[in-house]
Structure 1
Amino acid sequence: MRKFTLLALTAALTVTSAHAQTLKWDAYKGTTLRVLLNQHPWTTAMQDHFAEFEKLTGIRLVTETYPEAQFRQKVLVELSTGGQNLDAFMLSPGQEGQLYAKSGWVEDMAGYVNSKTKTAGNWGSSDFYPSVVNSTKYAGIMTGVPIQTETTMLFYRKDLFQKYGVAVPKTLAQLEAAAKTLNRKDGVAGIALRGKGASATSQFAPYMYAVGSSWLKDGQANFTDPKFVKAMTYYTNLLRNYGPQAAVTMSWPEVTNLFAQGKVAMFTDASLFRSIVDDPKSSSVAGKVGFAAVPGRKPTVTTWALAISKGSSKKDAAWLFTQWATNRQNQLRVLLKDVPAVRRSVWNDRAFKAQDKNPEWTQAHLSQLAGATPLWNPPVSQVGEVRDALGQAIVGILQGGNVNDLLKRANDSTNTILSKER
């Protein structure tokens, strides 16, 4: 398998050589680029290959990698003060895209992607999943080029489903019925979901979309919409009736840990958590985990991208790095390291198919990309503040508070936040 993978990468390197014939990769030889990176699996998979870019282009990369909270704060501070010393950086469009686009802090990558002179002819922009590309667009600006993606997914215990004759749920009604049937069987909770304030909002989104509601309506918060209330009531009732104790303390580490310990029958969350719950090194239920599309069939898609600072004086050199980092060869590399790729072609590559450890997961993940919505967060500039407002309502509801009253309070708080953005 290793030999085959190396052959595939050698072939991909030939593609890179072909790129070099159609694009002057050494046009900015001697340039130094400063790149800020999140401490992320994509970064881990790619950083040992950065020397290849330097050899190809003669450009020196100065990379800085930080844990996510510190990374986000550092990028925000640098961009808000002009961004002249920052050339390229990782970006989570669903978190910062609207703010950065409206503030004029990032380059519109569409101009680079569509350029016949700045972009290698066989770079292949059409190879990217459209839903993933759309997830980078805010305020009419393509804020970055995608580098990895994830979708919402159902994780479930195949052994328990088989033992108790439960079918894999496809609808919200079936999900609740499965949670009820499996709850307290063999000492497990029926389902685990995030309940810890702001962290719960992104995983509530597929339930909201499944009943036909949305974050906003006519530029105002939509939290008092009857369908929104219905979705929130459903989500919190699942946790209160069939979830583990202390649901208000659970974000993704707690949810995945409980499932990996064999204490939960199923959960819905980001697809990348397969690496935790189905790994024998970290999970007591590895080999017993099933994967399926999220019930209700309204998944979200989350993306990390590479962006270019509007204040940089080296934008074209930064674009060389961006298109190199997102070419087919490097997308295959990260996929072979279990980082979900954003190019369609690499999922069909023989090297990946030869080492695909769980085709069921691959099918569930890929089947959702075409119809997934990028709005896993409210499409506002002050995402954090709005998530906090709604997160407080979620905690209050889980603790027994009135759903309508708490959502009305969150609605009013959000509209106050939105009024300051105008």
Structure 2
Amino acid sequence: MRLKSLMLGACSLAAMTVWAQAETLTIATVNNGDMVRMQKLSDDFKAKNPGIDLEWVTLEENVLRQRVTTDIATKGGQYDIMTIGTYEVPIWAKQGWLQPLDKLVADDDYDVNDLLPPIRSGLTYEGKLYASPFYGESSFVMYRKDLFEKAGLTMPNAPTWDFIGEAARKLTDKSKEMYGICLRGKAGWGENMALLTAMSNSFGARWFDMDWKPQFDQPEWKATLEYYVNLMKDAGPPGASSNGFNENLALFQSGKCAMWIDATVAASFVSDPKESQVADKVGFALAPDNGLGKRGNWLWAWSLAIPAGSKKTEAAEKFIDWATSQSYTQLVASKDGWLNVPPGTRTSLYETPDYIKVAPFAKATLESINSADPDKPTVKPVPYVGVQFVAIPEFQGLGTAVGQQFSAALAGQITVDQALKNAQQLSVREMTKGGYIK
């Protein structure tokens, strides 16, 4: 009896020890398909790491951004792992808000050198990696091969904006709800301004000169916005000023757009016959240029990072390693097929025959990502990093405010000249207030 009692006591002590050692990681993430899939597959992580539990906080993008920004700025400590974008990483690293992922970088199994150079560069500050990319993207042209052939048009691998404009107008038949091109018009720094900032780079424009003076009063921005507004008026769908990524995706999948310039991650959605009516008719090309040395494509990655001061660094690094490693890619492929693996982060994916076989967009995606340079995003020199954004704290509010002006111009509520004048005035005011210019 005493022996049984001792055995029970020993078992209880062991159970208490395991319980005491168990850590719970609270992970804040965005509610897109790839992140939801990661959550579903996380039993694999827990099986390999029985001492670590996971608690998920899954939020819509704008809400996620607001909550994690507030938490990290106030040192709230609600989250052990945060899903953040390429915009936040250099800003937060400079503020000392993120932990460098030094142990991960030193781990041969993680293989930091396998990360695509532009993606790695966008997540690096002063030589240190501060976030690990879960998936990456650039932007490119998706187009209907059957409509191009019928119209006697051939899409170049690297088209110009002139060609895109001519083709879009030729392919438009509004009486049949066929629009030559669909582009983002919904206001927001990550909506229409992602497109227009990347586009403006190829027109030779920039947000600020080397003295942080706003540049919306310069001819390059006028050329960008006039081209965009006129093209969408002639060849775009009605109500385009309200259309963002999801609205244009639905239009393209239902066969109403001859061309769509947007995120490379959309390629798997438009190529999936379960979701897209035109899956077998889609071709891909690089984002357009104007012969100035820059294409109109952006660079982005949703990435996992650890807040500075975290007391669960070791466990958090284990999860990030699991979620962003090559082995996770293999896990997704085994469960959901190669078409659904997170794209755009690692060179090895684009050397995998099984992936290339099911992803006709792989080559164009890789070329698009590799041609984006967050350190030199524009034709003329600039004091900032970021391709479709400016990596300063003020940009979220400023980018959206400018986006509202440009969306109003697209809707015909104000002229292009008035939109640019308003953008210049509010940008000068914000940059003066922030102490960038005197």
> Shared fold by TM > 0.5?
yes
Distance 1:123 1:36 in 2: 22
Tell me the distance in 2 between the aligned counterparts of 1:225 and 1:140.
34
TM-align CA RMSD: 2.5
Answer yes or no: is 1:366 the counterpart of 2:366: yes
Pick aligned residue for 2:162 from 173, 191, 215? 173
Q: Deviations over 1:368-414 (max 9, x none)?
A: 22111442223221332112221122123224433233212212212
User: What letter is aligned with 1:349?
Assistant: T
Q: Using the alignment, how far apart are the partners of 1:421 and 1:139 within structure 2? A: 23
Contact 1:331/1:341 (CA < 8 Å) preserved in 2?
no
Alignment of 1:3-42 (within 5 A): 30-42=22-34
Query: Of 130, 148, 151, which aligns to 1:161?
Result: 148
CA contact (8 A) 2:139 2:261 kept: yes
Task: Could you tell me which runs of 5 or more consecutive residues in structure 2 were left unpaired when the two chains were aligned.
Answer: 1-17, 290-294, 375-386
How far did residue 29 of structure 1 move? Answer: 5.8
Which deviates more from structure 2 when the two are superposed, residues 190-199 or residues 393-402? 393-402
- Partner AA of 1:282 in structure 2: E
Mean alpha-carbon deviation: is it higher for 372-381 or for 122-131? 372-381
| CA separation of 1:167 and 1:409: change in aligned 2, threshold 3 A | same
- 1:167-246 mapped onto 2 (5 Å cutoff): 167-169=154-156, 170-184=159-173, 187-198=177-188, 199-218=191-210, 219-246=212-239
Distance 1:212 1:260 in 2: 32
Match of 1:216, SS state, is coil
- Residues 361-370 or 57-66, more deviating: 57-66
What is the deviation of 1:153?
Answer: 1.2
Whole-angstrom CA distance in 2 between matches of 1:413 and 1:142: 34
Give matches, 1:68-217, under 5 Å: 68-94=61-87, 96-109=88-101, 111-114=102-105, 119-137=106-124, 142-169=129-156, 170-184=159-173, 187-198=177-188, 199-217=191-209
Cα separation, 1, equivalents of 2:96 and 2:107: 27
CA distance in 1, matches of 2:301, 2:259: 24
Tell me if 1:377 matches 2:364.
Answer: no
8 Å Cα contact 1:129/1:342 also seen in 2: yes
| AA aligned opposite 2:348 | S
2:265 counterpart SS class: helix
1:329 counterpart letter in structure 2: S
Which structure 1 segments of 5+ residues have no match? 1-25
Amino acid at match of 2:265: L
Q: Counterparts of 2:177 and 2:57 in 1: how far apart (Å)?
A: 46
Asked if structure 2 preserves the Cα contact closer than 8 Å seen for 1:99 and 1:382, the reply is no
Q: Could you tell me how far 1:204 is from its partner in structure 2? A: 1.5
TM-score (norm 1): 0.84
Q: Give the drift of 1:275.
A: 3.5
Q: Aligned letter for 2:151?
A: Y
Q: Give the secondary structure class of the aligned counterpart of 1:221.
A: coil
Deviations 1:136-177, CA, capped at 9 Å, x for gaps: 246876441111011111011111100011121511111111
1:417 aligns with 2:415: no
For residue 342 of structure 2, the aligned residue among 339, 343, 354 is 339
Q: TM-score, normalised by structure 2?
A: 0.81
1:357 matched to 2:358? The reply is: yes
Tell me if structure 2 keeps the 8 A contact 1:192–1:255.
yes
2:329 and 2:341 in contact (8 A); partners too: no
Measured at CA, do residues 205 and 138 of structure 1 come closer, stay the same or move farther in structure 2, by a change above 3 Å?
farther
Query: Which deviates more, 189-198 or 402-411?
Result: 402-411
Q: Given the alignment of the two structures, is residue 402 of structure 1 paired with residue 415 of structure 2, yes or no?
A: yes
State the 1:270 CA deviation: 0.7
Structure 1 counterpart of 2:264, from 254, 268, 271: 271
Deviation at 1:288, TM superposition (A): 1.3
Deviations 1:187-216 (A, max 9, x none): 512111111222211012332111222222
Any conservation in 1 of the 2:134–2:342 contact (CA below 8 Å)? no
In structure 1, how many angstroms separate the alpha carbons of the residues matched to 2:177 and 2:311?
60
Q: Is the 8 A contact 1:36 1:63 kept in 2?
A: yes
Of residues 55, 76, 95 in structure 2, which corresponds to 1:62? Answer: 55
SS at match of 1:156: strand
Matches within 5 A, 1:250-289: 250-289=243-282
Distance of aligned partners of 1:52 and 1:184 in 2 relative to their CA distance in 1, 3 Å threshold: closer
Change (3 A) 1:351 1:241: closer
Deviations 1:30-53 (A, max 9, x none): 333222222123323322443333
Paired positions, count = 387
Q: Which moved more, 1:164-173 or 1:54-63?
A: 54-63
> Structure 1 pair 191/347, CA: closer, same or farther in 2 (3 Å)?
same
Task: Give the fraction of aligned pairs with identical amino acids, expressed as a percent.
Answer: 29
Deviations 1:200-245 (A, max 9, x none): 1101233211122222222232222221221121112111121112
Amino acid at match of 1:44: V
Per-residue CA deviations over 1:94-138 (Å, capped at 9, x if unaligned) read 2x33543344322233x3444xxxx42332111000101122246
Deviations 1:260-280 (A, max 9, x none): 222221110111222433333
SS state at 1:201 partner = helix
